[in-house]
Chain A
Amino acid sequence: MQGGNGSGTLRKLATLLVVPVALIVLWEGYKWLWQTTGWGWPFVVNDTTMPHVYSILQAFSQPTTTGGPPLIQSLLHAAWFTMKEAIAGFLLGGVIGFGLAVLLAHVRLLERGLLPFVVGSQTVPILAIAPMVVIGLGSKGVQGWKSVAILAAWLTFFPVAINTLRGLKSPDRRAVELMQSYAASQWSILWRLRVPASLPYIFTALKISATASVIGAIIGETPASIQDGLGGAIVNFNQYYSLQPTFLWATNIICAAMGLVFFGLVVIAEHLVVRRAPENVV
């Protein structure tokens, strides 16, 4: 099942390299095959629809406006702006999700009453309410990026709430009875038993939430006319796609990288905090 020895790590490193290379080869191969044969299905392949990998990489060093800074600089700037929104949304959503789970775990009636809406909340297309949230909160003097953070929190709280609830309820009945035999209060059972037991569940949720908050931040920006972030960059470069497709691709690569970085940070935190086998949690 697991190698655990030196050759295993080497093999892991090898696959780590093989897959990206294989993806690039597949991309260029597909592009070459479709272009030389002229196949139009499922879509016409040319340098606009599928730019060369190297020209996408080249785009990073090109200035977006004549005499301006190279694309990578403005993209990193935008990424930091969006990351700020994502982190704020992640923290806000995480706290709300955790609090909600504690509440629902202790009040059965509330669980029945609210849980369907917690699930339902995620079917609301946040993109659609984004402009209204940004305009609405803006009229109350809330800065745009904070409104976007709230949108990101909307996507973040859900996995945390659901998984924490499951985790809080996960301790064995006997473990609870043990605590009760010590005449432990509900509060004490919560912090000494239920919360530690739910940590692996919470981290599973936080990994999902990390991505969700990035999505929320990017998507929240797009219809809200916030220009400083990656969402704004996507809207902007999308308009010039037929002229300069590599810019949009480069932006999306930064988006992907940001998602991966945030995800990776949570994985590292998990390794530091959870000392038990996290694979036990589905």
Chain B
Amino acid sequence: MSTIVEPVPSGLTRELGGRLRDWVPALVVFVLAIALWQGLTTAFHVQTFLLPKPSDIARSFWENKSALWSAGVYTLKEAAGGFVLGSGLGILAALLLARFRVVGAALMPFAIAANAIPIIAFAPITNNWFGLLNPFSKMAIAAVLCFFPTMVNTLRGLTSVHPSSIELMRSYAAGETAVFRHVRIPNSLPFMFTGLKISAVLSMIGAIVGEYFGGPTNALGVSILNDTQLFDFPRAWAGIVLASAFGLAFYGLVVLAEHFTTSWHPSARSFSGE
């Protein structure tokens, strides 16, 4: 044999070290951007309603931290509820459609078309269904938003299996359940996580948009809206930054889960996240 490959144990420490180094340029850009933002807004006396200084936003966040934080957590809970509900149903639907592939193939164009619908515009309707103050009204819209990306991606993963993989299982006289367990489901995981990553971001946005059309005052979307109307822009921006941070954290959580469940995947070594 000409090529001898060492059995490489995935050196976690080396990997983490590499990761940290990868993040240095991003950190530099972050610091530079904040400095530039601060410098320019001060130098050119930019009005606060256009863009408050980062220092003002930070101060406002510090002064309102408990209120903003609890509002953020409230909204995050709505988003997480919608994410679990919508993605869960999406995965379930994908499994069913993959099991009955004729139906799945027939319905696929409709699922793709449904993805092209601006579902978020239906947020006022779920508000009317469940009541403005009921967190389920936001979970519902977030769930619908999460359903389609998760379903479409998972279904693609369940069905885009190498034909020989299926033939191999058939040569073992394996039933449909075993094919799912050993081939289709593991194969779908990277695809599924693509859908889940999209859903994580969408669920947070869905919850906030839902709140914009009305919700309890201790919700982040309502809080940002009120601050804008009261011209408290630093506080509004503090809320926006918090919403983004929570969205990113949610996304990061999914990436982490992906890392642990699909570390076997060849791409996991070279390309992580989107």
Contact between A and B in the complex (any CB pair below 8 Å): yes
Q: Indicate if the CB atoms of B26 and A116 lie closer than 8 Å.
A: yes
B116-151: CB near A (< 8 Å → 1, else 0) gives 111011101101111000001000100000000000
With A218-B121, A263-B116: A132-B236 Cβ-Cβ less than 8 Å = yes
- Would you give the shortest CB distance from A219 to chain B, in whole angstroms? 6
Other-chain residue from A113, A218, A263 in contact with B25 (beta carbon distance below 8 A): A113
Query: With A49-B129, A263-B113 in contact, do A125 and B121 touch (Cβ < 8 Å)?
Result: no
B144-192 residues at the A interface, CB under 8 angstroms:
156, 160, 191
Q: Which residues of B contact A231 (CB under 8 A)?
A: 121
Please determine whether B25 and A259 come into contact, CB atoms closer than 8 angstroms: no
User: In the assembled complex, which residues on chain B have CB atoms less than 8 Å from the CB atom of A241?
Assistant: 124, 128
Instruction: Tell me if A103 counts as interface (CB < 8 A to partner B).
Output: no
Which residues in chain A, 253-274, are within 8 Å of chain B measured between CB atoms? 255-256, 258-260, 262-263
B26 touches A113 (CB 8 A): yes
Please report the C-alpha to C-alpha distance between residue A210 and residue B118 in the assembled complex, in whole angstroms. Answer: 10
Q: Are B213 and A238 within 8 A (Cβ)? A: yes
Q: Does B86 contact A (CB under 8 A)?
A: no
Interface size on A, residues (CB 8 A): 59
- Establish whether residues B128 and A259, one from each chain, have CB atoms under 8 Å apart when the complex forms: no
Q: Does A37 contact B (CB under 8 A)?
A: no
Residues facing B in A24-49 (CB within 8 A) are 42-43, 48-49
Complex contacts, A127 vs chain B, CB 8 Å: 205, 208-209, 212, 221
Q: Which residues from chain A contact B129 at a C-beta distance below 8 Å?
A: 42-43, 49
Whole-angstrom CA separation of A255 from B226 in the bound complex: 27
CB nearest to A124 among chain B residues = B244
Most buried by B among A43, A214, A251: A43
Residues of A within 8 A of B233 (CB): 132
Interface residue from A128, A135, A207, A235 paired with B221 (Cβ < 8 Å): A128
Contact A248 B25 (CB under 8 A): no
Given contacts A113-B29, A120-B248, A125-B208, contact A248 B117 (CB under 8 A): no
Q: Which of A124, A125, A139, A256 is in CB contact (< 8 Å) with B118?
A: A256
Q: Is A275 an interface residue (CB 8 A)?
A: no
Q: Measured between alpha carbons, how far is A282 from B274 in the docked complex, in Å? A: 13
Q: Does B62 contact A (CB under 8 A)?
A: no
User: Contact: B118 with A214, CB < 8 Å?
Assistant: yes
For window 81-135 of chain B, which residues contact chain A by CB distance below 8 Å? 106-107, 110, 113, 115-118, 120-122, 124-125, 127-130
Which 5 residue pairs across A and B have the least CB separation, nearest first? A123-B247, A113-B25, A263-B116, A112-B25, A238-B124
13 contacts between A and B (CB under 8 A): A42-B140, A43-B129, A112-B22, A115-B26, A120-B248, A128-B208, A128-B225, A139-B50, A215-B121, A218-B121, A223-B225, A234-B124, A255-B121
- Residues of A that sit less than 8 Å from B by CB: 11, 15, 19, 42-43, 48-49, 109-110, 112-117, 119-120, 122-125, 127-129, 131-132, 135-136, 139, 162, 207, 210-211, 214-215, 218-219, 222-223, 230-231, 234-235, 238, 241-242, 245, 248-249, 251-252, 255-256, 258-260, 262-263, 282
